[in-house]
């Protein structure tokens, strides 16, 4: 029904939506700086392509599947939401005083960045057309059902009491696990397989990576604090303030921890390490941002940094070429954060119970469901795309670089000798 719009809540949701979208070019810079010069454009294009592909998918069918009228708690559906044709500009979302179209766009930005995160695992070797088809299928058959289960009021995991304030389960676990599966199916880069675990593939521009990390940190305040729309009215209230604070605390603690551990382990604190630590802390606090105290956010940031750092070191032992550590940071950080919600969540923020064994058990159920569903679903979809289109570029194209091979462009034009 149309109703009275709360201008403060609406303004914050519009701002938050823009901040979350800014994270996508931030991710493009973050990823783009860490690959080789010959693949910088193709890597950044994955994030920008996600804005286009999922931007259309979300309006056409994604929102209806995620937040439409629940069918048994498993999927949403409402023919009036197809193409958003039945949403009048004045229709409000629930009792939040915010136009539903604003909520649609806020959630749509989450749907965009999630498959963009996956691209970090297959950078420098996956076909663009295969990636486009894969993310369109993945968003429809993996992301939308998970979003409905966890975030829709009639979703079965929501009713079970699984807590995911801003996307630890829906976004980071699903993207991280899917990235790992896709990396295995696509296979390692040519140079990675030849050089093995000790091979070093040098990044082209770490200044881009640090800039991207800064934009991710900045945009993440909208990602987390904007998610207070699910638990309070007005939206820009206590839960938003708490989420804003815990986001900052976790990111700072994780960045500092990564630097210290890296200095102790390798003798130097690197810019890549600092950027990775920032993201690890942001990932871990995402499911808990409005549910835990600032001191707990510091602890979660430190623990996530340790866990993700360890995962980055271990991946080489298994020969998995997760190019830009999508699983090691987003998958592991998301898993840890989702579980720790059950340990640290405190007195009611939107009806949240204190941390307990019961809540921990619910969180473990949510984690297990996301891991199994995203992992198995990704395998099925990726094998289907592989059968029809193939997943990987040719050996010659990989050798020459995807920028010139796929796009006919170069990120950097060097003077001829």
Question: How do residues 371-413 score in pLDDT, each as one tens digit?
Answer: 999 999 999 999 999 999 999 999 999 999 999 999 999 998 7
Q: Is 139 helix (H, G, I), strand (E, B) or coil?
A: helix
pLDDT at 355: 59
Within a 13 Å sphere around the CA of 187, how many CA atoms are in the beta-carbon half? 15
Phi and psi torsions of 384, nearest 5°: -65, -45
Mean pLDDT computed over 183-187: 95
Mean pLDDT computed over 42-71: 97
Contact 344, 163 (CB under 8 A): no
Question: How do residues 88-113 score in pLDDT, each as one tens digit?
Answer: 999 999 888 999 999 999 999 999 99
Find the range with the poorest average confidence among 110-114, 234-238, 264-268, 370-374: 234-238
Mean predicted lDDT score pLDDT of the chain:
93
Q: How far apart are CA 375 and CA 82, in angstroms?
A: 28
Q: Is 13 left (phi over 0), alpha (psi -120 to 50) or beta?
A: alpha
Residue 417 has pLDDT above 70, yes or no: no
Contact 25, 109 (CB under 8 A): no
pLDDT at 231: 81
pLDDT band at 198 (very low <50, low <70, confident <90, very high): very low
Q: How far apart are CA 197 and CA 332, in angstroms?
A: 20
Question: How do residues 333-370 score in pLDDT, each as one tens digit?
Answer: 999 999 999 999 875 444 445 557 889 999 999 999 99
Q: Is 167 helix (H, G, I), strand (E, B) or coil?
A: coil
Q: How far apart are CA 5 and CA 234, in angstroms?
A: 11
Question: How do residues 298-315 score in pLDDT, each as one tens digit?
Answer: 999 999 999 999 999 888
pLDDT at 315: 83
pLDDT band at 317 (very low <50, low <70, confident <90, very high): confident
Mean pLDDT computed over 64-80: 96
The sign of the torsion formed by the CA atoms of 332, 262, 244, 214 equals: negative
Q: How far apart are CA 88 and CA 91, in angstroms?
A: 5
Tell me the pTM: 0.94
- Classified by CATH at the fold level, domain 7-407 comes out as Ammonium transporter fold (1.10.3430)
Find the range with the poorest average confidence among 72-76, 84-88, 375-379: 84-88
pLDDT at 2: 60
pLDDT at 415: 52
Residue 85 has pLDDT above 90, yes or no: yes
Contact 171, 150 (CB under 8 A): no
Q: How far apart are CA 282 and CA 267, in angstroms?
A: 25
Residue by residue, DSSP assigns 263-296 as HHHHSS--HHHHHHHHHHHHHHHGGGTTTS-HHH
Question: How do residues 142-163 score in pLDDT, each as one tens digit?
Answer: 999 999 999 999 999 999 999 9
Largest CA distance in the chain: 68
């Amino acid at each position: 029904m149309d109703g009275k719009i709360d201008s403060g809540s609406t303004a914050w949701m519009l701002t938050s939506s823009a901040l979350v979208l800014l994270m996508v070019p931030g991710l493009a810079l973050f990823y783009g700086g860490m690959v080789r010069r010959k693949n910088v454009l193709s890597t950044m294009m994955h994030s920008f392509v996600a804005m286009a592909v999922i931007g259309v998918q979300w309006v056409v069918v994604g929102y209806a599947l995620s937040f439409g009228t629940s069918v048994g708690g498993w999927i949403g559906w409402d023919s009036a939401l197809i193409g958003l044709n039945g949403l009048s500009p004045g229709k409000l979302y629930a009792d939040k005083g915010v136009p539903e179209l604003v909520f649609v766009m806020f959630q749509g930005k989450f749907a965009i960045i999630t498959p963009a995160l996956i691209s970090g695992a297959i950078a420098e070797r996956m076909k663009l057309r295969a990636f486009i088809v894969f993310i369109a299928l993945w968003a429809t058959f993996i992301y939308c059902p998970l979003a409905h289960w966890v975030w829709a009021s009639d979703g079965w995991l929501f009713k079970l009491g699984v807590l995911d304030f801003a996307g630890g389960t829906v976004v980071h676990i699903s993207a991280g696990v899917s990235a790992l599966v896709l990396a295995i199916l696509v296979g390692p880069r040519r140079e990675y397989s030849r050089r093995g675990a000790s091979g070093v593939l040098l990044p082209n521009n770490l200044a881009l990576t640090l800039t991207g990390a800064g934009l991710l940190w900045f945009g993440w305040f909208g990602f987390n604090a904007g998610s207070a729309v699910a638990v309070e009215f007005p939206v820009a209230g206590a839960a938003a303030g708490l989420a804003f604070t815990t986001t900052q605390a976790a990111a700072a603690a994780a960045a500092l921890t990564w630097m210290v551990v890296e200095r102790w382990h390798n003798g130097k604190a690197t810019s890549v390490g600092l950027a990775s630590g920032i993201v690890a802390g942001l990932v871990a606090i995402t499911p808990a941002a409005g549910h835990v105290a600032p001191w707990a956010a510091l602890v979660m940031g430190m623990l996530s940094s340790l866990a993700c750092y360890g995962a980055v070191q271990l991946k080489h032992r298994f020969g998995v070429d997760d190019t830009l550590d999508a699983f090691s940071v987003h998958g592991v950080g998301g898993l840890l954060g989702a579980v720790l919600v059950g340990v640290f969540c405190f007195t009611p923020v939107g009806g949240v119970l204190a941390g307990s064994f019961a809540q921990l058990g619910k969180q473990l159920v949510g984690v297990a469901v996301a891991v199994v569903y995203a992992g198995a679903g990704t395998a099925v979809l990726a094998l289907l795309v592989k059968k029809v289109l193939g997943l990987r570029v040719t050996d010659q194209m990989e050798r020459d670089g995807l920028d010139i091979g796929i796009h006919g462009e170069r990120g950097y034009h060097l003077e001829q000798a």
